[in-house]
Amino acid sequence: MSGRGARLGIIGCGIMGERIIRATLSLDPDLITLAALWDPDPKARARLTAEMPDLPFVDHAPDVAAAADVIYIASPPATHLGHARIALGAGRAVFTEKPLAVSMEESQAFLEMVDRSGLAAAVNFIFASSPAVASLKRWLAEDMIGTPELLEISTEFAQWPRPWQMDADAWLSRRAEGGFTREVVSHFLFLTRRLCGPLRLGSASARFPGGDMAETAIAADMTAGDLPVRLKGGVDTTDQADHNLWTLTGTKGAIRLRDWSFAERLTADGTWVGDPDAPSHEVARPMILQGQVTKLAAMVRGEPHDLATVAEALEVQMVVERILATG
């Protein structure tokens, strides 16, 4: 690594690419700086440079690897493996969106490629830097719920893709790469894996509307370690753009994560109580991504961090794809 801070390159400047750009620019350049950006769509470049004219866009994807210490891959899933191969081949660390690739065979190849390279790699599961998740961890450490007995996960959407994702509708709405199970449920499966233990899928079902469109409903029973887990999700099941619950019940009580960023505990009178000043996910998201990028800089320096590993992402993807394969 050279320069004042870790040099970050970004491939894919859609929603997530832009969010990581903004998170990086908000941090001390002695920690991390933007070195190179690339997107195949000229409209993406024009949109961003209209507001931030000094962004270091380059003409070709390999140019990003030439300029950076670590490459963030925020392109559609089918392109992840190819971009990672270029980055690792150039001796660069990799930070990628999930899923690792489209097929399980390619995702296994992704893990093997990382292992052979000996280079640092991580996956952008945002709960690794969530203040709300930190609260859940603290409550568990304080034995607030006793022995965990059941975990319930629910994800509901008024429509899919969500309104702010419509620019990526071409792939997010399709069965091959998109769907809410890969895009959203995977985050909660990662959280479950981190807090409760290895995932093992039991029964599952998925419903698709036909053609090549993504799923509209899923259900599954699984275990995380020895803990029973019940999962359900659906589109057109709520008036909210995005409503989710991760609820862990134990012998002494229950805690939950609501709508991404609200950590709550069940009181004796049956009401859910959390921090009244907790920000919404829209407000918390930039802070969470700043945490992710800060940890990314630590990864590049060879320092300890708790970003999601490629192995964790592969385990999550395996469960996701097995659920979708039932439809």
Q: What residues does each domain of the chain span?
A: 6-119, 128-279+315-324
pLDDT value of position 2: 44
Q: Can you list the alpha helix ranges (DSSP code H) found in the chain?
A: 15-25, 42-51, 61-67, 80-89, 104-117, 131-141, 169-172, 180, 186-196, 281-300, 310-324
Residue 3 has pLDDT above 60, yes or no: no
User: pLDDT above 70 covers what percent of the chain?
Assistant: 99
Fold of 128-279+315-324: Dihydrodipicolinate Reductase; domain 2 (3.30.360)
Q: Which residue has the tokens 């995380």?
A: 224
Q: Rounded to whole angstroms, how far apart are CA atoms 303 and 120?
A: 11
pLDDT value of position 4: 73
pLDDT value of position 1: 42
- The model scores a pTM over 0.75: yes
Nearest to 199 by CA among 184, 208, 188, 211: 188
| CATH of region 6-119, choose from 3.40.50.11540, 3.40.50.720, 1.10.3720.10, 3.40.50.300 | 3.40.50.720
Residue 277 has pLDDT above 50, yes or no: yes
Residue 213 is given by DSSP the state B
Query: What are 87-116's pLDDT values in tens digits?
Result: 999 999 999 999 999 999 999 999 999 999
Query: What are 196-210's pLDDT values in tens digits?
Result: 999 999 999 999 999
| Contact present, 81 and 101 (Cβ < 8 Å) | yes
pLDDT value of position 248: 98
Angle between helices 104-117 and 310-324 (to 10 degrees): 170
Q: Rounded to whole angstroms, how far apart are CA atoms 284 and 179?
A: 24
Query: What are 50-91's pLDDT values in tens digits?
Result: 999 999 999 999 999 999 999 999 999 999 999 999 999 999
Residue 33 has pLDDT above 90, yes or no: yes
Q: How buried is 203 (Cβ within 10 angstroms: 0-12 exposed, 13-18 middle, 19+ buried)?
A: exposed
Written as one letter, the residue type at 162 is R
Average pLDDT, rounded, for the chain: 96
